[in-house]
């Protein structure tokens, strides 16, 4: 079993959603709104109220502020969110506070403000360094904006800088993806997330594909992923989850918590959390969220208490994404005893390493997870 993560903890964590975007990217199916930044103050006040009305928990070791585009709002609003979290739950020493961002937002004064608010880790949505692909993805930045954003974040003193990538758009070529990987590694980020473009129902991309536009090609995406594995390894960025790579010690602590099937709080529009065996989600419509919270009502749209076999299958599903795999438990034992499990073991796709089940071929992770979910 890989040992690079020995001692890396997955501390109590919280997710906060900031839904505002200048425009919605065609592939995005998150709870986002475009053109309503004037509502940011009101929204943050509502999230603060949601936090204040929640049950106190143990001190947090990681916070992830996602979206949307959190970097589009005033840093003082981010400070208000973090202040409410600290007042409710407390913060551990050496907190990791991540802010998702777009490259075009990182002027020096914005970086200074976010640092003063408490942010110490930034995740920059680079997506690609091919201008044709960026335009097809609906991005507003150009390739050079990414390097400029990284330079600002480095000079202002953020502890960790991560770059997010999307591969496999039909407009992308093998050459352009190779160039993207080269330019990413030249920037020496602490962390990289690289995800295949997916066509989510209800998105603009989905409508375009239904109307006849080309869909992402599975074989091309597999080739891009293999190229990514090679480029990240050559740059000293080690894979610790299917789509995530980092320098040793720079793994995203919030994500580690989620993949370890640990509890985490969640606040804001469309936020999903998991605490005390209960998975919950908030409403996705901004006006409905504001109306509920401002009226003193819960923002919850649904909850599900997980126990027994469904809980075990979910533990397996999220844990198998990690490079160190998942403890066997009843689910792992059932997997190894199944016909499909044995086939995948003999094919060298998955193996038992001590008391853990480990996916040895990351390209086949989804196949292993599907076989797990099919267990009787």
113-161 pLDDT, tens per residue? 999 999 999 999 999 999 999 999 999 999 999 999 999 999 999 999 9
Start and end residues for every CATH 3.20.20.70 domain found in the chain: 13-259
Question: What digits encode the pLDDT tens for the residues 259-307?
Answer: 999 999 999 999 999 998 899 999 999 999 999 999 999 999 999 999 9
Question: What digits encode the pLDDT tens for the residues 329-340?
Answer: 999 999 999 999
| Mean pLDDT, range 320-336, rounded to an integer | 95
What is the CATH superfamily name and number for domain 13-259?
A: Aldolase class I (3.20.20.70)
CB crowding 106-131: b at 16 or more within 10 Å, else e: beeebbebbbebbbbbbbbbbbbbbe
Question: What digits encode the pLDDT tens for the residues 88-122?
Answer: 999 999 999 999 999 999 999 999 999 999 999 99
Question: In which residue are the tokens 């409508």 written?
Answer: 207
Look at residue 4 and tell me whether its pLDDT is greater than 60: no
State the average pLDDT for the chain. Answer: 94
| Distance of alpha carbon 26 from alpha carbon 239, whole angstroms | 28
Tell me what pLDDT residue 3 has: 36
Q: How confident is the model at residue 10 (pLDDT cuts 50, 70, 90)?
A: confident
Strands (E), the chain: 13-18, 20-21, 33-34, 60-67, 91-101, 121-127, 160-167, 191-196, 238-241, 244-246, 264-267, 272-275, 278-282, 300-305, 326-327, 350-353, 356-359
| pTM (2 d.p.) | 0.94
Tell me what pLDDT residue 118 has: 97
Question: What digits encode the pLDDT tens for the residues 25-76?
Answer: 999 999 999 989 999 999 999 999 999 999 999 999 999 999 999 999 999 9
At 84 the three-state DSSP class reads helix
At 48 the three-state DSSP class reads helix
Question: In which residue are the tokens 């990240």 written?
Answer: 232
CB 128 within 8 A of CB 166: yes
Tell me what pLDDT residue 277 has: 87
Q: How confident is the model at residue 228 (pLDDT cuts 50, 70, 90)?
A: very high
Q: How confident is the model at residue 6 (pLDDT cuts 50, 70, 90)?
A: very low
| Mean pLDDT, range 5-14, rounded to an integer | 67
The residue count of the chain comes to: 376
| Mean pLDDT, range 165-170, rounded to an integer | 97
Q: How confident is the model at residue 376 (pLDDT cuts 50, 70, 90)?
A: confident
| Mean pLDDT, range 194-204, rounded to an integer | 95
Neighbour count for residue 186 (Cβ, 10 Å): 11
Tell me what pLDDT residue 9 has: 56
Tell me what pLDDT residue 2 has: 41
| Mean pLDDT, range 80-91, rounded to an integer | 98
| Mean pLDDT, range 229-239, rounded to an integer | 97
Tell me what pLDDT residue 14 has: 98
Tokens linked to 358: 């480990």
CA dist 106 → 19, 134, 142 (Å):
18, 18, 13
Tell me what pLDDT residue 276 has: 84
| Mean pLDDT, range 332-360, rounded to an integer | 95
CB 165 within 8 A of CB 177: no
């Amino acid at each position: 079993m890989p040992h690079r993560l020995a001692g890396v903890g997955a501390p109590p964590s919280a997710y906060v959603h900031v839904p505002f975007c200048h425009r919605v990217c065609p592939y995005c199916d998150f709870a986002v709104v475009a053109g309503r930044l004037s509502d940011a103050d009101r929204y943050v006040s509502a999230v603060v109220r949601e936090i204040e009305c929640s049950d106190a928990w143990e001190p947090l070791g990681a916070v992830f502020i996602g979206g949307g585009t959190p970097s589009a709002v005033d840093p003082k609003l981010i400070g208000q969110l973090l202040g409410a979290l600290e007042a409710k739950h407390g913060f551990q020493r050496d907190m990791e506070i991540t802010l998702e961002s777009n490259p075009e937002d990182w002027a020096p004064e914005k970086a200074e403000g976010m640092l003063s608010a408490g942010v110490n880790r930034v995740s920059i949505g680079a997506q690609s360094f091919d201008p044709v692909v960026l335009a097809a993805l609906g991005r507003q930045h150009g390739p050079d904006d990414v390097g400029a954003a990284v330079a600002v974040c480095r000079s202002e003193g953020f502890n960790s800088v991560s770059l997010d990538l999307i591969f496999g758009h039909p407009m992308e070529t093998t050459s352009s993806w190779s160039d993207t990987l080269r330019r990413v590694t030249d920037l020496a980020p602490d962390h990289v997330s690289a995800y295949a473009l997916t066509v989510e129902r209800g998105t603009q991309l989905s409508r375009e594909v239904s109307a006849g536009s080309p869909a992402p090609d599975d074989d091309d995406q597999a080739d891009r992923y293999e190229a990514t594995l090679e480029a990240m390894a050559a740059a000293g960025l080690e894979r610790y989850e299917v789509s995530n790579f980092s320098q040793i010690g720079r793994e995203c602590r919030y994500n580690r918590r989620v993949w370890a099937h640990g509890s985490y709080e969640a606040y804001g529009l469309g936020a999903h959390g998991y605490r005390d065996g209960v998975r919950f989600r908030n409403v996705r419509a901004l006006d409905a969220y504001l109306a509920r919270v401002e009226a003193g009502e819960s923002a919850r749209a649904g909850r599900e208490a997980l126990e027994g076999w469904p809980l075990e299958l979910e533990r397996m599903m999220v844990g198998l994404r990690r490079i160190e795999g998942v403890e066997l438990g009843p689910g792992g034992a059932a997997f190894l005893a199944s016909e499909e499990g044995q086939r995948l073991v003999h094919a060298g796709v998955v193996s038992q390493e001590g008391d853990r089940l480990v996916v040895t071929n990351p390209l086949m992770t989804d196949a292993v997870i599907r076989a797990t979910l099919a267990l009787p």
